[in-house]
Amino acid sequence: MNDCIFCKIIAGEIPSKKAYEDDTVLAFYDLSPQAPVHILVIPKAHITSAADITGDNSAVVAHIFEVIASLTKQLGLNDGFRVVTNIGDSAGQSVKHLHYHLLGGRDFTWPPG
């Protein structure tokens, strides 16, 4: 996707602070952190949002959650953490490339705003 900033981060055209990378998944630190730990975990294949997950592309989602579990152990988020994905404009999705926010290092309220 030519105009997708996360595709540009994957391609190395926009710099990022990487937390993890393999053939199908990239994790990098959010530019505007909302918690002491705020990492975005994304598929390298362009998927617009979680509303576009199908049987053809869902394997990477399972892998993303394996990566998240591994990162949280590495980062010592033993008391808990939050994983959020926003879908569409009314949920506040500003980048239309599937991403999971991994937030940790503080307490979180429920329900979210």
d(CA 81, CA 72): 8
CB 20, CB 67: distance < 8 Å: yes
Nearer Cβ to ligand AMP (7/60) = 7
- Min dist CB 5 to ligand AMP, Å, is 5
4 binds ligand AMP per the rule CB under 6 A: no
Would you state the structure tokens that stand for residue 92, as one six-digit string? 């506040």
Q: What are the structure tokens assigned to 44, written together?
A: 């390298």
Q: x/- site string to ligand AMP, residues 22 to 41, per CB under 6 A? A: --------xxx-------x-
- Tell me which stretch binds ligand AMP (CB under 6 A): 52-60, 66-74, 75-83, 90-98: 90-98
